[in-house]
Structure 1
Amino acid sequence: MPALPAFEPGHVWLVGAGPGDPGLLTLHAAHALAHADVIVHDALVDPACLALARPGATLEYAGKRGGKPSPKQRDISLRLVELARAGKRVLRLKGGDPFVFGRGGEEALTLVAHTVPFRIVPGVTAGIGGLAYAGIPATHRDTNHAVTFLTGHDSSGVVPDAIDWHHVAKGSPVLVMYMAMKHIGAITARLIEAGRGPDEPLAFVCNAATGRQQVLETTLARAEADVAASSLEPPAIVVVGEVVRLRAGLDWLGALTAGRALDPDPLGLRRQDETG
């Protein structure tokens, strides 16, 4: 076991817990859980990760979920300052990675403004780890050499106007969208209007990397209707692009749990070579 840094009283660690599976916690994250006095966690941290907290640690919920009563971000940030100044070892535990649509930068800057010492511990972001648990790679050399990560709503809860949807649609073969399910109809309409094909593959990955994971494969044109007809709910990652087709060959979790056979040539490249 490598030597890990001491978690000092009066310090705050901003830690990513990954997309769900506690096995995806980093060594630094597990170390922080084992030593923190107070764990301020968000709604996306899986209970299995919180179960690794040391006995006697205080758990404080500070989750922010769209459309539901949530603490204000400023109040959360100032609570971290308050706890640190009380001499606590404060673990701010976030689902995924704290710096990927996780408001970790805002909280860290508040700590800087109040001269509170802190450490950043990256985590596996859901846009990579969650897709991997669904059998969808973020990149594959036969489908894409670029990928774009974006959010489906801004701080006011609407589709972000700051995103140049036309150029995103034209410029990136694969789009990975966080917090996009609520506005998926408006988003897919913008992408199709900008030139994406209506039949382009799209997938929703809900509760990624947990025992509750569900995946819906559809297309840009059918996405809004298909998800409305399903029982799926956020949190979800939405991915658009040809990489979704690779799930037929890479859904390792589905194959393990259901004994399902996988397609060794999901893109049909070998079949094209044989017939061409």
Structure 2
Amino acid sequence: MPSIDPSARVADGARLADDVEVGPFCTIGPNVEIGAGTKLVSHVAITGHTVIGERNVIRPFASLGTPPQSTHYRGGPTRLVVGSDNDIREGVTMNTGTEDDHGLTRVGSHCFFMVGSHVGHDCVVGDHVTFANNAVLGGHVQVGSHVVFGGQAAVRQFVRIGDGAMIVGLSGVRADVIPFGLVHGQSAELIGLNVVGMKRRGLTKADIHKVHRGFEALFFGEGTFRERLDLVAADLGDDPLIGQIVAFIRSGTRPLTMGVKRAALRVAS
């Protein structure tokens, strides 16, 4: 049976795995499902049609599954699905989806959500994503895996963040960020590649240099951006990392954060 503190409130209909721990003063709604090994430390609120995976640790005053902060929400049974092995720190908030999208907010596994971070309605967040304190996503944002958000970074609605990108703290992201991109500033200018993140994922020097070559050709080569994109696709598109960047750009329907500055490439160990 789940371990439930006497001060907690678990509504009829909630489904908790046998080894779930529910600490003091937590509240769990009737349409909530919580997987094995998950621990609610204290003062956690989980409501709505929400599924929490296995082995998550959710700390005080986190609020998951609340209705979307959208004037267009019509009260439907939209959902929040959170994966496994996440560390969700104090004051984190995640909303369910809206009827005007897929009705689903989805968060992956092995993510770290620091104090006060927020996942808005209809967002999709990949695996191994880090949100530093007070990093926030507007509605309908798509985030790839292995992305890092610095403290108080903010992403506007409908933006896509590619795999392996780094959003420096205090940046305001208003346009799509390519995979492995490094963005910084009030308007989140693309200043280079997330070399540190690439190295931490085990990419070789040769891999990183090849991605840097593609980056230079895309954003600082001759011709229009479309011409440069086609040239990079033809010359380097067989490389899986470059191909991922090309595919990301071609699949976009909204503006792309463009390179404005050459950052020094540091690959040495």
TM-score range, shorter chain: under 0.3
Higher relative contact order by CA 8 Å / sep ≥ 6: 1 or 2?
1
Higher-strand-fraction structure: 2
Higher helix share: 1
TM-score under structure 1 length normalisation: 0.25
